Amino acid sequence: MKKITYLLLLTLFMSACGSKKTIPRKNRAITSSEVKKPSSSKQIDNIINEAMRYKGTRYKYGGTTKSGMDCSGLVYVSFKENNIDMPRVSRDMATRGTKVSVKKAKEGDLLFFQTNKNRRVINHVGIVTAVQGDDIKFIHSSTSRGVIVSSLKEKYWNGAFVEIRRII
């Protein structure tokens, strides 16, 4: 009988050591201030950095990869990688965002051009990478040189320039 009592007590102590007390936790909702969203300037930097990854990529009509990229493809991919949906062609992109003056241009804005004066439609787009005084630098995909950074002061681009639009 002593053995049974001893085994019973031993079993009781062993199970007491191995038991786990569950403490209920209150479910807590996450408030919007706790969710970290990229600031617009961080998002703009990310878009420009994404576009710069393609610098030197050859031009390819309809292209959206490192093997070939067109102007609207560069904008489309750079914004898409940052969770911003854009149309695929430059003339449709020109309907998005808010028109801004050249004096108010900032990084991340889109520059639109008409390079074919006979057609009178927007057919080229670039992303502003820097505003240095009265000079605006932008990255785009040129049919002759691929993805490059150009200046709005260049005669060709200045003559083809139509407008600037702000998406972010």
Q: pTM of the entire structure?
A: 0.77
What pLDDT is recorded for position 75?
Answer: 99
Cα–Cα dist 78/119, whole Å: 27
Residue-range domain boundaries for the chain: 40-166
Cα–Cα dist 47/58, whole Å: 20
List the one residue out of 92, 129, 110 whose CA is nearest residue 168.
Answer: 110
Cα separation of the two ends of the chain: 83
Cα–Cα dist 70/124, whole Å: 9
Catalytic residues: 71, 124, 140
Q: HSE on the CB side for 86, CA within 13 Å?
A: 30
What pLDDT is recorded for position 15?
Answer: 37
Fold of the 40-166 domain: endopeptidase fold (from Nostoc punctiforme) (3.90.1720)
What pLDDT is recorded for position 34?
Answer: 42
The 10s digit of each residue's pLDDT in 31-53 is 434 444 457 899 999 999 999 99
The 10s digit of each residue's pLDDT in 11-36 is 433 333 333 333 344 444 434 344 44
Within the chain, which residues score under 70 in pLDDT? 1-38
What does residue 134 show for φ and ψ, rounded to 5 degrees? Answer: -100, 10
What pLDDT is recorded for position 39?
Answer: 73
